[in-house]
Amino acid sequence: MKTDLSEKLFARANTLFPGGVNSPVRAFKGVGGTPRFIARGRGAHLVDVDGNDYVDYVLSWGPLIAGHCAPEVMREVQEALREGSSFGAPSPKEIQLAELVRERAPWIEKMRFCSSGTEATTAAIRVARGFTGRDELVKFDGCYHGAGDPLLVKAGSGVETLGLPDSPGVPADVARHTLTAPYNDLPALTRLFAAHGATIAAVIIEPVVGNMGVIVPRPGYLEAIQALCKHYGALFIVDEVMTGFRLGTGGACGLYGLRPDLVCFGKVIGGGLPVGAFGGRAEVMDRVAPAGPIYQAGTLSGNPMAMAAGTATLKLMTPAAYALLEARGTALAAGLLASAAEAKVPVQLNRVGSMLTVFFTSTPVTDAASARLASTKRFGAFFHALLENGVYFPPSQFESAFLSTAHSEADLDLTLRAAKLGFAAAAKIEV
The residue among 383 and 423 lying less far from ligand KE4, judged by its C-beta, is 383
- Other Cβ atoms closer than 10 A to 148: 21
CA distance linking residue 288 with residue 295, whole number of Å: 6
Q: Which long-range contacts (CB under 8 A, 24 or more apart) does 126-129 make?
A: 126/294, 126/295, 126/296, 127/262, 127/278, 127/284, 127/285, 127/287, 127/288, 127/294, 127/296, 128/201, 128/202, 128/234, 128/235, 128/237, 128/261, 128/262, 128/284, 129/201, 129/202
> In the annotation, is 57 catalytic?
no
Beta carbon of residue 43, minimum distance to ligand KE4 (angstroms, whole number): 21
Beta carbon of residue 197, minimum distance to ligand KE4 (angstroms, whole number): 25
From residue 134, alpha-carbon distances to 9, 125, 127, 290, 423 in Å are 48, 11, 11, 21, 49
Which residues contribute to the site for ligand KE4 (CB under 6 A)? 23, 25, 61, 116-118, 121, 144-146, 157-158, 206, 210-211, 239, 241-242, 266, 276, 399
The residue among 196 and 372 lying less far from ligand KE4, judged by its C-beta, is 372
Beta carbon of residue 175, minimum distance to ligand KE4 (angstroms, whole number): 18
CA distance linking residue 232 with residue 199, whole number of Å: 9
Q: Exactly one of 144, 183, 322, 392 is catalytic; name it.
A: 144
> Looking at the DSSP assignment, which residues form a beta bridge with residue 181?
140
The residue among 43 and 276 lying less far from ligand KE4, judged by its C-beta, is 276
The residue among 61 and 131 lying less far from ligand KE4, judged by its C-beta, is 61
The residue among 94 and 206 lying less far from ligand KE4, judged by its C-beta, is 206
Closest CA to 275 of 94, 84, 139, 58: 94
For 330-395, strand residue ranges (E) read 348-352, 355-359, 391-392
CA distance linking residue 13 with residue 396, whole number of Å: 21
DSSP secondary structure of 16-58: TSGGGSSSGGGG-TTT-SPPPPEEEEEBTEEEETT--EEEESS
Beta carbon of residue 88, minimum distance to ligand KE4 (angstroms, whole number): 21
Q: Exactly one of 48, 239, 367, 411 is catalytic; name it.
A: 239
Q: How far is CA 222 from the centre of its chain?
A: 18
Sign (positive or negative) of CA dihedral 266, 270, 272, 276 = negative
Please give the residue whose beta carbon sits closest to ligand KE4 in the complex: 117
Listing from the earlier edge strand, what are the strands of the sheet with 355-359? 348-352, 355-359, 401-402
Q: Alpha helix (H) ranges present in 23-180?
A: 71-83, 92-104, 117-132, 157-161, 172-175
Q: Exactly one of 267, 392, 411, 420 is catalytic; name it.
A: 267
Beta carbon of residue 195, minimum distance to ligand KE4 (angstroms, whole number): 27
The residue among 193 and 265 lying less far from ligand KE4, judged by its C-beta, is 265
The residue among 17 and 83 lying less far from ligand KE4, judged by its C-beta, is 17
Beta carbon of residue 194, minimum distance to ligand KE4 (angstroms, whole number): 27
- Other Cβ atoms closer than 10 A to 174: 14
Beta carbon of residue 189, minimum distance to ligand KE4 (angstroms, whole number): 19
CA distance linking residue 335 with residue 417, whole number of Å: 10
The residue among 277 and 418 lying less far from ligand KE4, judged by its C-beta, is 277
Beta carbon of residue 220, minimum distance to ligand KE4 (angstroms, whole number): 22
Give SS3 for 63: coil
> In the annotation, is 420 catalytic?
no
Strands 45-48 and 235-239: unpaired
> In the annotation, is 239 catalytic?
yes
DSSP 3: -
Active site residues: 144, 239, 267
